[in-house]
Each structure stands twice: as structure tokens, then as C-alpha cells.
Amino acid sequence: MKDNINNNNSNRKNANNKMVSNHTPKEEQYIGPYRLEKTLGKGQTGLVKLGVHCITNRKVAIKIVNREKLSESVLQKVEREIAIMKLIEHPNVLGLFDVYDNKKFLYLVLEHVSGGELFDYLVRKGRLTPKEARRFFRQIISALDFCHKHCICHRDLKPENLLLDEKHNIRVADFGMASLQPEGSMLETSCGSPHYACPEVIRVKICK
């Protein structure tokens, strides 16, 4: 478990002058030491682009959040996601390496995994062998057990939020719905994806 942090900007790096603002298609954009390349995807809170370290060539995924296009409540969720991810260090949880920001954008430097979503993998394969299913399940349970022992509830676990690396190891991702719950407290909020959420969450019943 990483050291506790306050939910503020004191440990973030300024992104001013790190990114080319007026550019042509041939010009390169940088966030800190990372060169921005192709777009990997787009979520509800921002665009995700491939980043390559200009010295080591290490690949990362950089989530770009435009503050001006999001409501205050959504921005608070992003800040909460950052705070929670900074607390977690586990081989089966997607890593957050760094955060850059300026007045307009937040840049989350995330671990890059090349295997895509478990959902797409299941669609392609049709079914898993018992051995493969057990392996995935062990890794998911290991990650969730770690989170729960540190009072972190993911609250939106689904195949779309489970990523695979090049060796088909699980990475639990997307902590946008996650909550820090003190030991002994109960959850009372209906959230997550209806097709995957448990009945007590859908019914807004108090639960752990």
C-alpha cells in the first residue's frame, strides 16, 4: 500500500509549456518526458493516448481530462479516482505513474497494457478453458482482496474494466466509481453498471 496522500495538487507536476498548443500534424506533443502518439480510446471523462518516454521508450497510456468540458461533480470523481489510485500498488491493478496538470487539462500517466479489455477477449474466444478462467479469477480476487483490506471499494467491476497485458495477466482499471470506506461503515449509494451490479446496489440497500 502506498503512503496516504491528501487530495490536492501539491504533488503534481505542472504541464504548462510541456505540450505544444498550436501545432501542425507533423509537430510532436509532449507531456513531461512523454511524447504523445496515437489515440487508444475515449471514455466519459477524457481521451486516452499512447505516450512514449523520450529517453527510455517506455510506453504509457495518458488520459487527458479537459476540465472545461466536465461538471464540478464529474471533476470531483476524477480527483477521487486519482487519490484512490495513488494509494494502490498491486500487480493486478492498473498503475498510475504520474499526474500533470495546468489550468485546462489533467494528464494521468497510466500503465500501458496491450491486451485490451477482458470483454473483447471473451467475445473473440467465445468461452474460456477452466484453467484460464481459474487463472483470471485468482488474479481478480487477489486485486479486490487487496483493495478491500485497504478500505477501497471499486463499485464498477465488469469485463470492460478488466484489462489484459501482453501475457494475459489481469489489470483492474477505472476507479471512477470507487469509494474509500472506513472499516465497519456501509455503502448506501446506487452506482455502477446496471447489467453487472448486484441486486442490493440496484435496490439502494445498505451493503458492504
- Residue 125 maps to which CATH number? 1.10.510.10
Q: Do the annotations mark residue 149 as ligand-binding?
A: no
Would you state the cell numbers that stand for residue 55, as one nine-digit string? Answer: 529517453
The boundaries of the domain holding residue 54 are 13-111
Residue type at 33 in one-letter notation: P
Task: Tell whether 3 is covered by a domain.
Answer: no
The verdict on 73 and 28 lying in the same domain is yes
How many domains are contained in the chain?
2
The verdict on 106 and 190 lying in the same domain is no
The predicted structure's pLDDT at residue 1: 61
Report the CATH number at residue 54.
Answer: 3.30.200.20
The verdict on 126 and 197 lying in the same domain is yes
- Tens digit of each residue's pLDDT (9 = 90 or more) over 33-81: 999 999 999 887 889 999 999 999 999 999 999 999 999 989 998 999 9
120 is catalytic: no
Of the residues 79, 111, 143, the one at which a domain ends? 111
The verdict on 95 and 122 lying in the same domain is no
Q: Quick count: other Cβ atoms within 10 Å of Cβ 203?
A: 10
Catalytic position from the list 98, 156, 165, 174: 156
Q: Which residues of the chain have a pLDDT value below 50?
A: 3-8, 17-24
Q: Quick check: helix, strand or coil at residue 142?
A: helix
Note the pTM of the prediction, 2 decimals: 0.80
Would you state the cell numbers that stand for residue 76, as one nine-digit string? Answer: 470531483
DSSP at 41: E
